[in-house]
Amino acid sequence: MNTIKDYLNTPYETKLNAIGISYFICELKKTAKIISNNININEGNGTKMENELKEILQKIELQTEKLNEEMNLWLEKSLEIRKFIAEADYLSDKQKQILSLRYLSFKTWEEIAVIMDLSYQWVHKLHERALIKISERM
């Protein structure tokens, strides 16, 4: 059953990776701005700082490419999981909704229970039953 959860969690994992890369790009941009300001202040000592700035700008470009790849992967995995859930005709509508809310909308168990007007325990039970049905089909 862990393999099924891992599969269903791939959109979440790719989204987390994209967020991490975005954060790293922001930090690189802050550093680039600081260096750029220092180059303007220290007109005579620009070459070392200019080289550092060029390196950071290259890192930003590389990380931006990685971010685009990760965002495309996230979209691809989200569509794949959405299709997988929709085509699982052996699951009830409630089970499909729970899987969609959890693995595509990244809702907490408490949020799912409120949205579906079900008890927390019943949400867990329906989720577990859905995973069992999926594992039996695989």
For the chain, what's the residue count?
138
pTM over 0.95: no
Residue in the structure block whose two tokens are 């989204």: 15
In tens digits, the chain (138 residues) has pLDDT values of 568 888 898 998 998 889 999 888 888 888 888 877 776 655 555 577 778 888 888 889 889 998 999 999 999 999 999 999 999 999 999 999 999 999 999 999 999 999 999 999 999 999 999 999 999 888
Cα(26)–Cα(67) distance, integer angstroms: 12
Residue in the structure block whose two tokens are 């590389």: 62
Residues 103, 68: contact at Cβ < 8 Å? no
Distances (CA, A) of 34 to 30, 48, 56, 61, 70: 6, 14, 11, 18, 28
Residue in the structure block whose two tokens are 């220290």: 42
Q: How many distinct helices (H) and strands (E) make up the chain?
A: 6, 0
Burial class (CB in 10 A: 0-12, 13-18, 19+), 16: middle
